[in-house]
Amino acid sequence: MAHSFIQPRISLLILLSLFALVFAGCGGDDVQDALANVPVGGEKGNMAPDFELKNIAGGTLKLSSLRGKVVIIDFWDTWCPPCRKALPHLEAISQDYSQDLVVVGIAFGRDGEDKVKQYVAQNKLTFPMVLADPEFKVTKDFGGVQSIPTTFLVDPNGVIVKKWVGGHSRQEYENAVKEVIGS
């Protein structure tokens, strides 16, 4: 009697395993197909707009080159008190989660590139720092950044999962990062 009860379960288990293997093999393409239909913009659930901006350390940084990592994008400037308060939190998080996370600062540079470089050096900010383009296309692409800091958390697929306006605590940023990286 036990044999007749176990046999159908084993057959069902084998069938379900084969079914899972077939679909797992298509997983990468399925994800890419689904992402192709996600709108680009600056809101939660949108694909983060790609950009290529001047890195103050030299060269340029292209957002899409960071695909596969969690990314924090922080719009800020040197004259902004809430920005200056939030940057040390982002620096600490960038250090603590460096295996899974890249923080990118996008400085408006109202007082010039040299002032941004000076601020970054004085405050020992080590994460990539780029300058907004002169036409501020990047801010428009991200939904028209109206105030700074405005900070976006982007998952490894390039989808915005969180948007903060104004400076926030390290714990708030960190909790969101942990949720995305699964720790």
Confidence bin at 42 (pLDDT 50/70/90): confident
Q: What are the residue boundaries of the structural domains of the chain, listed by start?
A: 2-33, 40-181
Is pLDDT of 73 > 90? yes
Q: Average pLDDT for residues 109-126, to the nearest whole number?
A: 97
3-state secondary structure 64-119: HHHCCCEEEEEEECCCCHHHHHHHHHHHHHHHHCCCCEEEEEEECCCCCHHHHHHH
pLDDT digits (tens, 9 = 90+) for 149-172: 999 999 999 999 999 999 999 999
- Residue 149 is predicted with a pLDDT of 98
Q: Average pLDDT for residues 40-44, to the nearest whole number?
A: 88
- Residue 162 is predicted with a pLDDT of 97
Confidence bin at 40 (pLDDT 50/70/90): confident
CA distance 62 to 148: 21
pLDDT digits (tens, 9 = 90+) for 87-104: 999 999 999 999 999 999
What is the assigned CATH class of domain 40-181? alpha beta
